[in-house]
């Protein structure tokens, strides 16, 4: 155990680690509630049309069944209440394959599942738009004003006058979030008050969405979510399954548990949409970029719009006088896309960083040197000064650690046996932001033993929130970490930002730090004494003989933070071995160098980056959700056919953090790392594959058939 005051920046073990490894950490469906019954959702087997009739008679008579709920008997809900993707049983219309059309509630899960298969549905089927490539020409300008064309200078003219240009289209497929803990809820009504045990990346967001959709007061809804088994964006917004659990519990007057199956996850909680990105770059023979055009065509749902911001990295990564960032979208009969780890930046960086590699090769300039030549002094997208920017350090330090000097510019120059060996590099970025969050600190003393309780409605996806908040409070209060009890994941606690968009750590830790500073100042003021050396809150509790004391703070980003452009940055280095006979790709070595401000805990931070790299490797080589164009359903709907990298697919991963102090972004100088860890990874792998084989694959995933 570290000394008080020396915890931030240390690789302290997770304070909830024992709970995790002993299986006593409680997730959404782990709570034992008396008289709980079970619900199972049944789904549409067409992608477009309407339900003509539902025969639930046999299901209703099945053993243990308490209710069969469909649009025929479901209560009226506020469909604009913040639940994503529709599917709230509010009518007969079908807008995508797998849309929720009902649920069975029974005494046991097995009874509910059996009865759900007895419900007979007749449909009137209509033509469905499910083939993205077939309908790309129908793309229109997005409704979202944030996705309007962004024009700087005259990119088209600059392209015509350029010495060197490239133009290429990069394709990324549909991907799915597949957290270890599928989406699940227990709903309990006590009169007009509703408690939802539900994995929620934004605890207060889930509370507001449930209250608004059910048309009840927010204070009558409580979300309990102390531990979450992953989410990756899918648990950032809330989906119909949470509210359907609540209405089922209301209708049968019993607590109800509903957990999505792994197969149901594929068409219940959104996805990362397929993107077709056309990039054109222009440069002088010396390697200075003169123009950049990044045009994304994508798809969204018939009943709503979500467009991944694939052009975000292109707006600010490099100094380019002339640029165009544009989006077009095709409404389709597929579930609404949503935020997925590194939204827009992970997919957009594959296109941008692959294109940078292509142009560097055409110019015969080292791809690291090419990037360094185009380093912007200020944010090109808005002219703001950087609060800090570490791209140069990430590239140069990474090159040394990786052994970049061994790379040959010409492909196919390094072979061992049947394997062609190549090296690739790619950069990434993600915004760094602090969001409003409140916190309560409660101090207790028994004799000379002072302990603290930290309370805020933060969330922990498994990323270490409990631990970094204990470290922050321990240092600010003058206590050891084991004297801090962190209570989070409950909407009854002070409201907080969510674990989304890499705002969690910065928002939560600064709120806790502010609360600790405030309680120390209040204790000093209460004593009426002056001190030559500022005492800690723990010392004040003892010296002033105080047994209990607490305070609350409502923390906000620093004044003037919006005057700066604040981001985390990285550089990714991949070594690949490509079998010249089979086309199989191995990645024995990967290095990520990240500049993310002050690192609160190197162990949990490194774990976050490794997780991002693993998914990035999956994005590059294995992950792809495929739709059957005849029906509109996913052919890939289990881990047997949706291929997530396993241990044998991953070699040695090394993480390095740049020592960076950024006092503009927030008081503690904390930036997010959860999102940036995946950004640029797929491009680094694809660029390494080109260096190994001389084959440029612009369509992910890079499978053996594309290399042979």
SS (H, E, C) 362-384: HHCCCHHHHHHHCCCCCCCCCCC
Q: Domain boundary at 540, 556, 572, which? A: 556
| Closest by Cα among 438, 482, 432 to 674 | 432
Average pLDDT over all residues of the chain: 97
Report the C-alpha gap between 239 and 242 in whole angstroms.
6
Helix (H) or strand (E) holding 393: helix 391-402
Render pLDDT for 681-698 as a digit per residue (tens, 0 to 9).
999 999 999 999 999 999
Residues 92 and 207 in one domain: yes
Residue with tokens 């209301």: 250
Q: Is residue 294 part of a domain?
A: no
| Domain of 424, in residue numbers | 341-433+562-707
Render pLDDT for 78-125 as a digit per residue (tens, 0 to 9).
999 999 999 999 999 999 999 999 999 999 999 999 999 999 999 999
Report the C-alpha gap between 460 and 7 in whole angstroms.
19
Q: Domain boundary at 526, 556, 586, which? A: 556
Give 410: exposed, middle or buried? Use CB within 10 Å, 0-12, 13-18, 19+: exposed
Q: Answer yes or no: pTM beyond 0.85.
A: yes
Q: Is residue 577 part of a domain?
A: yes
Residues 37-62, mean pLDDT to the nearest whole number: 98
Residues 545 and 566 in one domain: no
| Closest by Cα among 100, 103, 84 to 92 | 100
Residues 678 and 573 in one domain: yes
Structure-token pair, residue 487: 């209570």
Structure-token pair, residue 458: 């933060």
Q: Is residue 81 part of a domain?
A: yes
Residue with tokens 């050396």: 533
- Residue 57's CB is within 10 A of a number of other CB atoms, namely 11
Confidence of residue 4 (pLDDT cuts 50, 70, 90): low
| Closest by Cα among 310, 364, 369, 367 to 340 | 310
Residues 6 or more apart in contact with residue 139 via CB below 8 angstroms: 297, 298, 328, 329, 330
Q: Is residue 300 part of a domain?
A: no
Residues 415-443, mean pLDDT to the nearest whole number: 98
Report the C-alpha gap between 473 and 488 in whole angstroms.
14
Residues 608 and 576 in one domain: yes
Residues 428 and 456 in one domain: no
Residues 445 and 369 in one domain: no
What pLDDT does residue 2 have? 63
Q: Is residue 282 part of a domain?
A: no
Taking a C-beta distance cutoff of 8 angstroms, is the pair 230, 20 a contact? Answer: no
Checking if the pLDDT of 700 tops 70, the result is yes
- Residue 367's CB is within 10 A of a number of other CB atoms, namely 26
Report the C-alpha gap between 47 and 335 in whole angstroms.
10
Residues 423 and 439 in one domain: no
Residues 349 and 366 in one domain: yes
Report the C-alpha gap between 638 and 636 in whole angstroms.
6
Coil, strand or helix at 315? helix
Give 417: exposed, middle or buried? Use CB within 10 Å, 0-12, 13-18, 19+: exposed
Render pLDDT for 70-80 as a digit per residue (tens, 0 to 9).
999 999 999 99
Q: Is residue 477 part of a domain?
A: yes
What pLDDT does residue 642 have? 96
Residues 569 and 540 in one domain: no
The backbone torsions φ and ψ at residue 245, rounded to the nearest 5 degrees and listed phi first, read -65, -40
Residues 377 and 484 in one domain: no
Render pLDDT for 126-140 as a digit per residue (tens, 0 to 9).
999 999 999 999 999
Q: Which residues of 548-587 are buried (b: 16+ CB within 10 A; e: fewer)?
A: ebebebebbbeeebeebbbbbbbbbbbbbbbbbeebebbb
Confidence of residue 148 (pLDDT cuts 50, 70, 90): very high
Query: Of all residues in the chain, what percent are helix, strand and coil, respectively (each to 5)?
Result: 30, 30, 45
State the Cα torsion 549-554-557-560 to the nearest 10°.
-100
Coil, strand or helix at 542? helix
Q: Is residue 332 part of a domain?
A: no
Coil, strand or helix at 252? helix
Checking if the pLDDT of 283 tops 70, the result is yes
Render pLDDT for 209-220 as a digit per residue (tens, 0 to 9).
999 999 999 999
Report the C-alpha gap between 70 and 346 in whole angstroms.
39
What pLDDT does residue 51 have? 98
Strand-pairing partners, residue 555, are 437
Q: Domain boundary at 215, 248, 265, which? A: 265
Confidence of residue 499 (pLDDT cuts 50, 70, 90): very high
Residues 360 and 442 in one domain: no
Checking if the pLDDT of 238 tops 90, the result is yes
Residues 477-486, mean pLDDT to the nearest whole number: 97
What pLDDT does residue 213 have? 98
What pLDDT does residue 579 have? 98
**How many contiguous H segments (helices) and E segments (strands) does the chain have?**
18, 27
Residues 382 and 469 in one domain: no
Give 296: exposed, middle or buried? Use CB within 10 Å, 0-12, 13-18, 19+: buried
Q: Is residue 287 part of a domain?
A: no
What pLDDT does residue 5 have? 67
Overall domain count for the chain: 3
Residues 432-460, mean pLDDT to the nearest whole number: 98
CATH number at residue 92: 3.30.365.10
What pLDDT does residue 3 have? 64
Strands 484-487 vs 449-455: parallel, antiparallel or unpaired: parallel
What pLDDT does residue 92 have? 98
Confidence of residue 489 (pLDDT cuts 50, 70, 90): very high
Q: Which residues are catalytic?
A: 675
Report the C-alpha gap between 100 and 86 in whole angstroms.
9
Residues 327-353, mean pLDDT to the nearest whole number: 98
């Amino acid at each position: 155990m570290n000394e008080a005051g020396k915890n931030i920046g240390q690789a302290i073990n997770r304070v909830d680690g024992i709970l995790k490894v002993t299986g006593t950490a409680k997730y959404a469906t782990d709570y034992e509630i008396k008289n709980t019954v079970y619900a199972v959702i049944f789904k549409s087997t067409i992608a477009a049309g309407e339900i003509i009739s539902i025969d639930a008679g046999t299901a209703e008579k099945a053993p243990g069944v308490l209710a069969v709920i469909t649009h025929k008997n479901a209560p009226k809900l506020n469909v604009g209440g913040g639940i994503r993707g529709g599917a709230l049983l509010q009518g007969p219309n079908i807008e995508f394959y797998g849309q929720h059309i009902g649920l069975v509630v029974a005494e046991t899960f097995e009874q509910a599942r059996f009865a759900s298969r007895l419900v007979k549905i007749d449909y009137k089927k209509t033509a469905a738009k499910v083939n993205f490539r077939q309908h790309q020409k129908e793309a229109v300008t997005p409704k979202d004003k944030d996705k309007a064309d962004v024009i700087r200078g005259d990119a088209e003219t600059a392209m015509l006058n350029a010495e060197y240009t490239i133009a290429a289209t990069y394709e990324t497929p549909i991907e799915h979030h597949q957290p270890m803990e599928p989406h699940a809820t227990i709903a309990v009504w006590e009169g007009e008050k509703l408690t939802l045990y539900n994995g929620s990346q934004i605890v207060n967001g889930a509370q507001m969405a449930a209250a608004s959709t059910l048309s009840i007061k927010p204070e009558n809804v409580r979300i309990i979510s102390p531990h979450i088994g992953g989410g990756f964006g899918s648990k950032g917004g809330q989906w119909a399954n949470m509210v359907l659990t609540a209405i089922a519990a209301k209708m049968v007057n019993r607590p109800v548990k509903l957990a999505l199956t792994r197969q149901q996850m594929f068409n219940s909680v959104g996805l990362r949409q397929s993107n077709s990105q056309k990039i054109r770059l222009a440069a002088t023979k010396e390697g200075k970029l003169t123009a950049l055009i990044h045009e994304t065509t994508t798809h969204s749902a018939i009943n709503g719009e979500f467009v991944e911001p694939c052009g975000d990295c292109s707006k600010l990564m490099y100094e380019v006088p002339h640029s165009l960032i544009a989006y077009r979208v095709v409404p389709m009969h597929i579930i609404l896309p949503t935020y997925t780890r590194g939204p827009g930046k992970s997919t957009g960086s594959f296109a941008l960083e692959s294109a940078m590699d292509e142009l560097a090769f055409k110019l015969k300039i080292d791809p690291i040197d090419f990037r360094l030549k185009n380093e912007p002094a200020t944010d090109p997208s808005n002219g703001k000064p950087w609060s800090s920017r570490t791209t140069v350090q990430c590239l140069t330090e990474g090159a040394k650690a990786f052994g970049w000097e061994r790379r040959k510019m010409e492909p196919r120059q390094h072979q061992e046996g049947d394997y062609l060996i190549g090296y690739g590099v790619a950069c990434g970025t993600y915004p760094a932001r602090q969001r409003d969050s409140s916190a309560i600190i409660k101090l207790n003393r028994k004799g000379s033993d002072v302990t603290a309780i930290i309370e805020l409605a933060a969330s922990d996806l498994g990323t270490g929130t409990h631990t970094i908040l204990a470290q922050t409070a321990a240092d600010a209060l003058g206590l050891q970490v084991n004297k801090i009890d962190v209570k989070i994941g409950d909407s009854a606690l002070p409201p907080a930002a969510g674990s989304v968009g890499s705002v969690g750590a910065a928002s939560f830790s600064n709120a806790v730090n502010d609360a600790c500073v405030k309680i120390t100042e209040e204790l000093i003021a209460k004593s009426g004494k002056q001190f030559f050396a500022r005492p800690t809150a723990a010392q004040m509790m003892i010296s002033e003989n105080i047994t209990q004391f607490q305070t609350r703070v409502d923390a906000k980003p620093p004044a003037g933070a919006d005057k700066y452009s604040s981001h985390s940055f990285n550089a990714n280095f991949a070594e690949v071995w490509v079998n010249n006979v089979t086309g199989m790709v191995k990645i024995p070595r990967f290095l990520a160098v990240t500049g993310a401000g002050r690192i609160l805990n190197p162990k949990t931070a490194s774990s976050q980056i490794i997780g991002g790299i693993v998914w990035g490797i999956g994005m590059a080589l294995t992950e792809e959700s495929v739709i059957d164009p005849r029906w509109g359903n996913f052919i890939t709907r289990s881990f047997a056919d949706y291929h997530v990298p396993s241990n044998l697919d991953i070699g040695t991963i090394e993480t390095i953090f740049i020592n960076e102090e950024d006092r503009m972004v927030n008081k503690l100088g904390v930036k997010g790392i959860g999102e940036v860890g995946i950004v640029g990874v797929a491009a680094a792998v694809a660029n390494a594959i080109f260096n190994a084989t001389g084959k440029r694959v612009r369509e992910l995933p890079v499978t053996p058939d594309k290399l042979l």
